[in-house]
Amino acid sequence: MGYVVSKHGGNLLVAAEAVDERSISHALSRIPNPHGRLFLDVDVNEQYRCVEYKVRLRLSTGEAPFVTAWRDEQGRPLPLSSALTEHVKMLIETDTLRQATEHNRRFRESSVKDMGDEVEEIARDMLPYIQGRKSSPLHRSVSLRMARSRTGRGR
Give per-residue pLDDT as tens, 26-85. 999 898 887 788 999 998 988 888 899 999 888 777 778 888 899 888 888 888 888 899
Q: Is 120 helix (H, G, I), strand (E, B) or coil?
A: helix
Q: How far apart are CA 33 and CA 88, in angstroms?
A: 11
What are the backbone angles phi and psi of residue 57, rounded to the nearest 5°?
Answer: -120, 115
**What is the reported pLDDT for 53?**
93
- Where exactly are the structural domains of the chain? 19-94
Average confidence (pLDDT) over 116-144:
80
**Taking a C-beta distance cutoff of 8 angstroms, is the pair 123, 115 a contact?**
no
**What is the reported pLDDT for 152?**
67
Whole-structure pTM value: 0.57
> Does the pLDDT at position 136 exceed 90?
no
Q: How far apart are CA 149 and CA 155, in angstroms?
A: 7
**What is the reported pLDDT for 55?**
92
Q: Which residues pair with 43 in a beta bridge?
A: 52
What is the average pLDDT value for the chain, to the nearest integer?
Answer: 82
> Does the pLDDT at position 155 exceed 60?
no
Q: Is 28 helix (H, G, I), strand (E, B) or coil?
A: helix
Q: What separation, in Å, do the N-terminal and C-terminal C-alpha atoms of the chain show?
A: 87
**What is the reported pLDDT for 26?**
92
**116-147 burial string, b = 16+ CB within 10 Å, else e?**
eeeeeeeeeeeeeeeeeeeeeeeeeeeeeeee
Q: Is 6 helix (H, G, I), strand (E, B) or coil?
A: strand
Average confidence (pLDDT) over 132-144:
72
Q: How far apart are CA 63 and CA 47, in angstroms?
A: 27
Average confidence (pLDDT) over 139-147:
75
For the ranges 16-20, 35-39, 58-62, 131-135, the one whose mean pLDDT is highest: 35-39
